Chains A and B, each alone.
Chain A
């Protein structure tokens, strides 16, 4: 690349960087983005250590720059199939949080009501003593494990084996329940197995981009850059966007459907109605490869655009326009994310997106695909490795043969692995803790005291005297404040492991620097716990037979053999050299497989499939014999569902719809991004987005302080007036209390003070985007606009000072050719 002119844009002001347009079927040009600490040049970098993004799910490959034993910057990898060298603002700047002076460096233990420093031996003894006590008193049902979508594959697999075959509890889940559970469930419903069908490369070939509740410009910055480059090139795809906010993609859309929150299913049923009534159905595909079409016909027969227009609050003609675009092409790339997954009837709606592609035969071919997105960088591994509500390697908990495979692999009796009911999901784990039947909760790398719904309830559960809480994290989070033992963890760049992105690309992440103080890799903590607990297999040998990341990876490979997520063709050697590969990677696909289902070779055979499916309304699991009768030949399943109104519709007291979500510059509860100066400054505090009509109705102007009042709590913040649809109020969920300047006690900053404790019946994902609220004006603006970015969906109607990063946010771009 050297020798080509480099530009140096401010990547806070311009999050997506320079355009490199390309045509349909062309190669997305390489653009290498680099950011180095002030004063450091590329020539001074001593080592470049390959890894990938840890602050979103896109899996952008990058190298960490190391000098004098410190991280000094990052550079995108030109050879990556994912990002072709590009990085987003969180990648460019987020690594600086590793060096924050607030990192936990020693374990903490609660003594006399206070958390005080202790040594590792004492902290682990306290955990082990309590574990043994509870195993004796109550047994496995006393234990809950709540992990994350931000550890590494090796850590999840180890934790899963410890939980299921060591402690033998059924109560294991991840915060992936909040971000990606519906993606997994929607794939299980349609294809009887998890596994992303599509590829990011489908962007290069598609004629239609259909983004449903997926603000890709903010959640997967470089994926949007790829889409933008197609949109600005020759033969651009048509863009259809469903989102109540006028997001950046919505501003570029051919058709934007700003539906009322909680009405996705009505809209999608109307689109299906139109495809069917216009006979834009690939009947050959549907007949040969799917089941359930007749049921869909019946279900959507009356779902006219006029019917949906009434429910969704968009024009019937706009719905028709969207359906016409989808009906006129078969290279359709459909994607969805939290606007579907965290909303009312999540799985039912996500499944209809699969159905649209099935009806169009848009599956398993370049440009014709489905991306059920993930929210977190390693959520895919939580799902694969059995650290969420699934068994490892997409095994079916309701298939005794699959449980027997695990029993043989781990050398334990099958009866030792709980499989009498579906693994307990996160919301139920907290319910059991509330009731007092779970008395030990180990939380790793997540912050439920800010990220779960109805925080007042969550705080009261975590603070319970009879609940022993272990928190493993980088910082003293709001959750750690309530723990009995806090373990300081090493993070990305300070430990070795692998992780897999949304389109099944596996990356190795190297250890670039030493962790601070006594912080230890999460894997080492889990291994230490297993050793101290002396978990044994049925021959009396240690249950956990591995000792480091590479040996854990090999154990996982054996577990994955022959399953859809087959890793057996990979190795640390290959991955360490930056050789990212998509799974399945095995003898059949030695270089990985770009798209699943290219031959309609679904993983849906009754003996092989991960799931027999669920009733989309009641969540009831389909029984083995029912599934065998229905789908003996392993076809894709078209599942229909009836629209139901949300359980908390707006009323006189709470006339508005509450929507929560992300901003481009932050990740989760800002534990890292709030400590990276450029990112923190771009979106320094919470705000509330209102439409001009709703603002006017309450006498609110830009920057005025308002209370958003919901039945469960209040958030107080300055108002940002935007093009959001009237009747919907948006509050970003990132902001908690660790940096709230003394206002921690009044609990008016976190969006989840207001959200409802309710979840999708099939995926068990909480409904963060469907509640009612009202607005009350508190005070006039103090001359300032709301602290919301101007570059994103929070773009103001008023003309105010734009969000910039200045010299501190300048990153180099090098274009090839």
Chain B
């Protein structure tokens, strides 16, 4: 069985997504909705990572439940960025930066979503209802994160490009 591969890929993709959400939020603190919502959504992905680590135990696979936290600790520049964003926030250029960051976030969310799709198919193929339940509970949240990035790009781009 290669279900462990799919577990690991989903775990890693969700860890990346959680960390990327926090990074983008810190960088755009003056865009208050982005700042606050990325923290909420990162919390979802963090919860997904914990649930995946739990599931992995049944396959004797060691996935780090606290991966998001550790990823954050590695982001030593995060606080610096956060301060910097308050100053940056008053010049028009951050608009373009926001669009770029939202695009990256979207791709990270899409990667995670695809990983869930694969894992969900695998869970059905190996008849693991517990794993399938995890997928069913978590995957919709990742899709919501992905949809939010699209919505935010739609909202933000006209003003960035027309001004």
Residues of A within 8 A of B (CB): 138-142, 170, 418, 420-422, 424, 427-428, 431-432, 434-437, 615, 617-621, 644, 647, 757-759, 761
The digit string for B122-133, where 1 denotes a CB below 8 A from any CB of A, is: 000000000000
What would 30 A/B residue contacts be, using CB atoms closer than 8 Å?
A138-B163, A141-B158, A141-B159, A421-B154, A421-B158, A427-B32, A428-B33, A431-B31, A431-B32, A432-B163, A435-B92, A435-B94, A435-B95, A436-B92, A437-B92, A437-B160, A437-B163, A615-B147, A617-B144, A618-B41, A618-B144, A619-B33, A619-B148, A619-B151, A620-B148, A620-B151, A621-B151, A647-B39, A758-B36, A761-B33
Determine how close the nearest CB of chain A comes to the CB of B36; give it in whole angstroms: 5
Q: A139–B161 Cα gap in the complex (Å)?
A: 12
Known contacts A142-B163, A759-B33; is A644 also within 8 Å of B40 by CB?
yes
- Whether, in the assembled complex, B110 has its beta carbon less than 8 Å from a beta carbon of chain A, the answer is no
Residues 8-57 of B contacting A (Cβ, < 8 Å): 30-33, 36-37, 39-41
Closest to B95 in A: A435
A761: B residues at CB distance < 8 A: 33, 37
A422: B residues at CB distance < 8 A: 155
A758: B residues at CB distance < 8 A: 32-33, 36
Known contacts A435-B91, A758-B36; is A618 also within 8 Å of B148 by CB?
yes
Q: A141–B163 Cα gap in the complex (Å)?
A: 6
A437: B residues at CB distance < 8 A: 92, 95, 159-160, 163
A138: B residues at CB distance < 8 A: 162-163
Contact B32 A759 (CB under 8 A): yes
Tally of contacts, chain A with chain B, CB under 8 A: 76
B37: A residues at CB distance < 8 A: 618-619, 761
A618: B residues at CB distance < 8 A: 37, 41, 144-145, 147-148, 151
**CB-CB nearest 3 A-B residue pairs:** A437-B163, A618-B148, A141-B162
Q: A615–B146 Cα gap in the complex (Å)?
A: 12
Determine how close the nearest CB of chain B comes to the CB of A189; give it in whole angstroms: 15
Most buried by A among B91, B94, B151: B151
A644: B residues at CB distance < 8 A: 40
Closest to A615 in B: B144
Further pairs besides A427-B33, A618-B147, A647-B39: 15, Cβ < 8 Å? A138-B163, A141-B162, A418-B158, A420-B158, A428-B33, A431-B32, A435-B95, A437-B160, A615-B147, A618-B144, A618-B148, A619-B151, A620-B150, A758-B33, A758-B36
Count residues of B near A (Cβ-Cβ below 8 Å).
28
Residues of B within 8 A of A (CB): 30-33, 36-37, 39-41, 89-92, 94-95, 144-145, 147-148, 150-151, 154-155, 158-160, 162-163
Closest to B156 in A: A421
Determine how close the nearest CB of chain B comes to the CB of A294; give it in whole angstroms: 14
Contact B89 A435 (CB under 8 A): yes
Determine how close the nearest CB of chain A comes to the CB of B141; give it in whole angstroms: 9
Determine how close the nearest CB of chain A comes to the CB of B62; give it in whole angstroms: 30
Closest to A644 in B: B40
B39: A residues at CB distance < 8 A: 647
Q: A427–B91 Cα gap in the complex (Å)?
A: 17
Q: A139–B37 Cα gap in the complex (Å)?
A: 31
Q: A644–B44 Cα gap in the complex (Å)?
A: 11
Closest to B90 in A: A434
B154: A residues at CB distance < 8 A: 420-421
A142: B residues at CB distance < 8 A: 163
A421: B residues at CB distance < 8 A: 154-155, 158
Contact B90 A432 (CB under 8 A): no
B33: A residues at CB distance < 8 A: 427-428, 619, 758-759, 761
Q: A436–B93 Cα gap in the complex (Å)?
A: 10
B41: A residues at CB distance < 8 A: 618
Determine how close the nearest CB of chain A comes to the CB of B85; give it in whole angstroms: 12
Q: A619–B155 Cα gap in the complex (Å)?
A: 12
Most buried by A among B30, B32, B95, B148: B32
A139: B residues at CB distance < 8 A: 162
Q: A757–B36 Cα gap in the complex (Å)?
A: 10
Most buried by A among B31, B37, B94, B144: B37
Determine how close the nearest CB of chain A comes to the CB of B93; give it in whole angstroms: 9
Closest to B151 in A: A620
Closest to B94 in A: A435
Q: A725–B136 Cα gap in the complex (Å)?
A: 41
A418: B residues at CB distance < 8 A: 158
Closest to B155 in A: A421
Closest to B147 in A: A620
Q: A418–B162 Cα gap in the complex (Å)?
A: 13
Known contacts A617-B144, A620-B147; is A432 also within 8 Å of B36 by CB?
no
Which of A432, A619, A621 lies in contact with B159, CB distance below 8 A? A432
Closest to A621 in B: B151
Known contacts A141-B158, A422-B155, A647-B39; is A615 also within 8 Å of B148 by CB?
yes
Contact B163 A170 (CB under 8 A): no
Q: A434–B94 Cα gap in the complex (Å)?
A: 12
Q: A428–B159 Cα gap in the complex (Å)?
A: 11
Determine how close the nearest CB of chain A comes to the CB of B1; give it in whole angstroms: 30
Contact A436 B91 (CB under 8 A): yes
Closest to A434 in B: B90
Contact B90 A435 (CB under 8 A): yes
Most buried by A among B33, B39, B158: B33
Contact A620 B144 (CB under 8 A): yes
B94: A residues at CB distance < 8 A: 435
Q: A619–B37 Cα gap in the complex (Å)?
A: 10
Q: A427–B35 Cα gap in the complex (Å)?
A: 14
Contact A170 B40 (CB under 8 A): no
Contact A434 B148 (CB under 8 A): no
Closest to A617 in B: B40
Q: A757–B32 Cα gap in the complex (Å)?
A: 7
Determine how close the nearest CB of chain A comes to the CB of B97; give it in whole angstroms: 11
Determine how close the nearest CB of chain B comes to the CB of A223; give it in whole angstroms: 34
A620: B residues at CB distance < 8 A: 144, 147-148, 150-151
A436: B residues at CB distance < 8 A: 90-92
Closest to A138 in B: B163
Q: A619–B147 Cα gap in the complex (Å)?
A: 10
Determine how close the nearest CB of chain B comes to the CB of A418; give it in whole angstroms: 8
Closest to A767 in B: B36
Q: A733–B118 Cα gap in the complex (Å)?
A: 53
B91: A residues at CB distance < 8 A: 435-436
A759: B residues at CB distance < 8 A: 32-33
Most buried by B among A141, A420, A421, A436: A421
Closest to B146 in A: A620
Closest to A171 in B: B159
A170: B residues at CB distance < 8 A: 158
Closest to B157 in A: A421
Determine how close the nearest CB of chain A comes to the CB of B127; give it in whole angstroms: 23
B31: A residues at CB distance < 8 A: 431
Q: A641–B98 Cα gap in the complex (Å)?
A: 28
Closest to A766 in B: B32
Q: A542–B31 Cα gap in the complex (Å)?
A: 39
Known contacts A620-B147, A761-B33; is A434 also within 8 Å of B89 by CB?
yes
Q: A353–B36 Cα gap in the complex (Å)?
A: 25
Q: A618–B34 Cα gap in the complex (Å)?
A: 10
Q: A435–B37 Cα gap in the complex (Å)?
A: 20
Closest to A439 in B: B163
Q: A422–B156 Cα gap in the complex (Å)?
A: 11
Determine how close the nearest CB of chain A comes to the CB of B108; give it in whole angstroms: 16
B158: A residues at CB distance < 8 A: 141, 170, 418, 420-421
Determine how close the nearest CB of chain A comes to the CB of B143; give it in whole angstroms: 10
Most buried by B among A141, A424, A620, A759: A620
Closest to B161 in A: A141
Determine how close the nearest CB of chain A comes to the CB of B147; give it in whole angstroms: 5
Closest to A461 in B: B90
B30: A residues at CB distance < 8 A: 431, 434
A428: B residues at CB distance < 8 A: 33
Q: A676–B140 Cα gap in the complex (Å)?
A: 55
Determine how close the nearest CB of chain B comes to the CB of A79; give it in whole angstroms: 47
Closest to A618 in B: B148
